[in-house]
Amino acid sequence: MKYINQNKLNKIKLTKDNFYVLIDFDRTLTKGNSISCWRILYYSDLLGNDFKEKYDKIHDKTFPNENESKEIKQNAYSERFEEYMELLKQKELNDEIIKKAVQKTNLQLRDGAKEFLKKMYEANVPVIIISCSIGNVLIEYLKSNNCYYNNIHIYANYYNDYGKHICNVTPYNKSEISFSQEVKDKINNRDYTLLLGDLIDDINMIEQGRLENTVTVGFLDKKITENLKLYKENFDIVLTDNSSYRELEKILN
């Protein structure tokens, strides 16, 4: 199933020189029924027998009710990620463990996603990934799939040798991410944006004032009947049932 705001697409003609990509990772670049990037470490069994139990306790304790305010949900996610990072520090996570975990994972990219990233690289289109996942794992995963190109810039939650993290990205603060000067320079003269996400809040990756010049794409793979109307109201293109990037490219072409 697909929905297309054809009027919007008729107004915006994307060429390789006039747009950049803003994109989520989990269940956007990856399949809708895939595990999250965080869960790569969870299912790897490389961090000790008690890791899953401690991870689950953190997750359950800080999981916010959907009816709570955005501020409360933001604080809950921030607390969760802080505790995750502390747990990873205790487990002495390192690059070698991350590589082994990625090699074992069954996380899957959407059909055509690798080809889409390659085309963006060949066309020199900047791709900015804003993800709530752990950046170190995300990068290693893209590398292992031979699709981590130098036009890709990733804003996520990074783990380093001291157990600290950078960005503190949650589903509710993506609008607050400040791009580096390098990224700003690369997108400064591009009039349009192609934004892709799987949550309504992913639209906040772009400033409200730029939405008119943005083609928004929403992947809807869960509770389709209940959520379709809301997604149609918020996204210019809605794709369901684990749609591929090949289908998206046909629409955009």
pLDDT digit string, tens, across residues 58-116: 988 777 677 788 888 888 889 989 999 999 999 999 999 999 999 999 999 999 999 99
User: Can you tell me the mean pLDDT for 106-131?
Assistant: 97
Determine whether 27 is exposed, middle or buried from the number of CB atoms within 10 Å of its CB (0-12, 13-18, 19+): buried
User: Of 58-62, 155-159, 183-187, 202-206, where does mean pLDDT reach its minimum?
Assistant: 58-62
The strand order across the sheet containing 237-240 reads: 2-4, 237-240, 214-220, 192-197, 19-23, 127-134, 152-157
| Entry pTM | 0.94
**CATH topology assigned to domain 2-33+108-252:** Rossmann fold (3.40.50)
Q: Where are the domains of the chain?
A: 2-33+108-252
